[in-house]
Amino acid sequence: MDFEQVMDKCGSFGRYQILLLILFSCSNILSSLHYFAQTIISFTPKHSCVQPEIASNGLQIFHNNTLSRCSFIELNENTGELNMAAKCQAWEYERESGYESVTTELNWVCDDAYKLAVGQSFFFLGSVVGTISVGYVADRFGRLPACVLTTLMGATGDFITSFVNNLQLFSLGRFISGFSTDTVYMLMFILVFEYLSPKRRTFGLNIVSAVFYTLTLMISPWLAIWVGTWRHYLWVASLPALVVLAYPCLVFESAEWLLTKQRYDKAANCLRRIAKINRRQVDESVFEEFKDFYRNKTMEQAKFNTQKDTFMDMFRTPRMRKFTIILLIKSIIITVAFDIISRNMEGIGTSPFKLFSYTGIAHLPSGLTIILFQNYIGRKGMACASLFFGGIITAVTGYLLATLDPAENAILMAFMVGLARYGATVAYDAEAQYAAEIIPTSVRGRGVANIHVIGYGFGFCSSYIIYLGTFYKPLPALFISVLMLIGAALCLTLPETQNKKLPQTVADGEIFGIGEKWFFFSCFSRRRRQKEEQFPTAAVSTIIISSASKSGNNELNKFNTFTF
């Protein structure tokens, strides 16, 4: 009796799963506060150059060009000469409701604007180190301790950042914060994923993310304005993470992970306790049969393979290697696209706080889209379609930026930014579940973590891609749209995972979906099955006639005998 059969008896959607979803909602809130803190603390408002010496003489003369924010016309009182490009030493900011961001407090604008980009890039460097480390902890010591560790590390980084005053310490704080870039969300995602009924998995995971992640995202800018400074906002974003200290008292370790570590008694004990919480009466013989099944399976596998699965084993066989490389490339594309579209809120013709908050509602319909359509068109279809349409929307947004004045078309531009965020979020959410289902259970924690860390490692380039807009405004959007279309094409080479027994070992992963065509989509095959069920005689007759035309009457008689 395998895990899924025992899980059905213990209850795959009961009181324990509801508790998991509640805690998952907390993780979504923490993840949203943590990830988007880097955007909210760094908004750069409109600013102009102020020179105290000139102002004291009643003269304020500025360039009438794009350099007026960073330079001014300086009058040399001794010689009477004018310096047409003197560098600013002070600025006047048009703060949003008095909000003090890191750029306004530390004057990281003009010649010092690079400091913000450098400091924020350390966030992504930290994610590379942190996610690999957390992935190792997840597969070596368990999903639960890794979840607690990564959440507290991210909160510690944000808290440290709130006290710094220079680039070096700011970079250190962002580096530590980056340790939990996405693992706060993903590890709890895996725990819920493994214990939740496959039929309710898409709804449960995505409705929680859609509601709680979105609400936190929309409230965050106003929360920042309410507390007044970027330092106080980081306190608000980091201190709620202490709630994860209660997780070990409420959440059981992944039973599937325990099975891969041959801890059969502990896995059975987790399921036994879940059955008790869900008020299910399960005979003890079920758990004994469950343990014997996996002991025998391990012994059979040991005859052919004496080594335990590792992440590198995903590269040792041809099909698993192909899947892994494609998932890595897709992670890079989706992460870079999602980060740039979410962060690039300035110069669109309206307040970045309002734009960030209002377009954040796009996360809600994106979650509902996953819920309504993913089980219908399949994981592969959703991943491919979301990247394709997201790429088209982003390209159109770039075109409008190039041809229209954002200030005069602020509503239209905000609408297009919202659509772009919608497409990127659907692609991001679809990728999370799709990758988790393709990667075998034995390496799922480290596999998901490593695939995501590659994406976040390339997130280091996000600031530089945004910088391309200084040369040609729509260039970042066009660049991202091409990447998303490439990602859509790559989805066609992956197998469908819907309504299939997911691989538990790398060996299972190598034969998973074998024989499936690149153009296979579960929604089309479902329609074909339904049609054949409606007209079985017609379907068989078509086959028979086709066979007869090739083989003659004798073969037709043989086929008729065989078929009926």
Q: How many CB atoms lie within 10 A of CB 90?
A: 10
Whichever domain contains 505, its CATH number is 1.20.1250.20
Say if residue 554's pLDDT is above 50: no
> One-letter amino acid identity for 20?
L
Mean pLDDT of all residues belonging to the chain: 79
CB 349 within 8 A of CB 408: yes
Q: What is the pLDDT of residue 176?
A: 92
Cβ neighbours of residue 5 under 8 Å, at least 6 residues apart? none
> One-letter amino acid identity for 242?
L
Tell whether 269 and 390 lie within a shared domain.
Answer: no
3-state secondary structure of 83: strand
| Cα distance between residue 444 and residue 146, in whole Å | 13
Tell whether 117 and 89 lie within a shared domain.
Answer: no
Q: Please indicate whether residue 316 or residue 57 has the higher confidence score (pLDDT).
A: 316
49-62: average pLDDT: 51
pTM exceeds 0.85: no
Per residue in 495-514, pLDDT (tens digit) is: 888 878 888 888 888 888 88
Tell whether 513 and 403 lie within a shared domain.
Answer: yes
Q: What is the DSSP string of 463-515?
A: HHHHHGGGTSTTHHHHHHHHHHHHHHHHHTTSPP-TTSPPPSSHHHHHHTTTT
Which H, E and C letters describe 218-248, residue by residue? HHHHHHHHHHCEHHHHHHHHHHHHHHHHHHH
Q: Please indicate whether residue 310 or residue 57 has the higher confidence score (pLDDT).
A: 310
| Cα distance between residue 169 and residue 154, in whole Å | 16
Kindly list the distances between the CA atom of residue 74 and the CA atoms of 52, 59, 61, 112, 518, in Å, as whole numbers in the listed order: 11, 10, 8, 21, 66
CB 491 within 8 A of CB 435: no
Query: Strand 82-87 relative to strand 71-75: parallel, antiparallel, unpaired?
Result: antiparallel
Task: With CA atoms as reference, report the closest residue to 210 among 358, 343, 366, 420.
Answer: 366
Q: What is the pLDDT of residue 84?
A: 54
Tell whether 28 and 163 lie within a shared domain.
Answer: yes
101 falls within a domain: no
- Please identify which residue in the block is written with the tokens 């395998």: 2
Q: What is the pLDDT of residue 245?
A: 92
Per residue in 344-355, pLDDT (tens digit) is: 776 676 778 888
433-438: average pLDDT: 84
| Cα distance between residue 178 and residue 180, in whole Å | 5
Domain that holds residue 548: 522-563
Structure tokens at 473: 């405004």
Task: With CA atoms as reference, report the closest residue to 395 among 456, 343, 341.
Answer: 341
Choose the final residue of a domain: 304, 332, 357.
304
Structure tokens at 277: 């919480």
310-318: average pLDDT: 83
- Backbone region of residue 137 per phi and psi (left: phi > 0; alpha: psi in -120 to 50; beta: other values): alpha
Q: What percent of the chain has pLDDT over 70?
A: 83
Say if residue 83's pLDDT is above 90: no
| Cα distance between residue 391 and residue 396, in whole Å | 9
Q: What is the DSSP string of 263-305?
A: -HHHHHHHHHHHHHHTT----HHHHHHHHHHHHHHHHHHHHH-
Cα 159 to chain center, whole Å? 23
170 falls in which pLDDT band (50, 70, 90)?
Answer: very high
227 falls within a domain: yes
Q: What percent of the chain has pLDDT over 90?
A: 16
Tell whether 78 and 126 lie within a shared domain.
Answer: no
Beta strands (DSSP E) in 131-266 are none
Say if residue 539's pLDDT is above 50: no
Tell whether 411 and 359 lie within a shared domain.
Answer: yes
Structure tokens at 414: 């905000």
Tell whether 118 and 161 lie within a shared domain.
Answer: yes
Tell whether 369 and 464 lie within a shared domain.
Answer: yes
Least confident of 222-231, 303-312, 546-555: 546-555
520 burial type by CB count under 10 A (0-12 exposed, 13-18 middle, 19+ buried): middle
Q: What is the pLDDT of residue 62?
A: 43
DSSP 107: T
181 falls within a domain: yes
98 falls within a domain: no
Domain count, the chain: 4
539 burial type by CB count under 10 A (0-12 exposed, 13-18 middle, 19+ buried): middle
442-457: average pLDDT: 77
Q: What is the pLDDT of residue 51?
A: 59
| Cα distance between residue 9 and residue 3, in whole Å | 10
CB 166 within 8 A of CB 102: no
| Cα distance between residue 235 and residue 89, in whole Å | 30
Sign of CA dihedral 67, 68, 71, 73: positive
| Cα distance between residue 244 and residue 34, in whole Å | 14
CB 236 within 8 A of CB 223: yes
Q: What is the DSSP string of 522-553?
A: HHHHHHHHHHHHHSHHHHHHHHHHHHHHHH-H
Residues constituting the chain: 564
Q: Would you report the helix, strand and coil content of the chain in percent, each value rounded to 5?
A: 75, 5, 20
- Please identify which residue in the block is written with the tokens 């390339």: 458
Cβ neighbours of residue 384 under 8 Å, at least 6 residues apart? 488, 491, 492
42 falls within a domain: no
Tell whether 456 and 340 lie within a shared domain.
Answer: yes
Least confident of 151-165, 259-273, 502-516, 532-546: 532-546
DSSP 1: -
Tell whether 3 and 149 lie within a shared domain.
Answer: yes
Q: What is the pLDDT of residue 317?
A: 87
Tell whether 132 and 194 lie within a shared domain.
Answer: yes
Tell whether 131 and 57 lie within a shared domain.
Answer: no
263 falls within a domain: yes
Per residue in 383-430, pLDDT (tens digit) is: 888 899 989 988 888 888 878 877 788 788 888 888 888 888 888 878
Q: Please indicate whether residue 76 or residue 346 has the higher confidence score (pLDDT).
A: 346
Element (H, E) at 352: helix 352-359
Per residue in 134-155, pLDDT (tens digit) is: 878 887 888 889 889 989 999 9
Per residue in 89-104, pLDDT (tens digit) is: 778 888 888 899 998 8
CB 476 within 8 A of CB 347: no
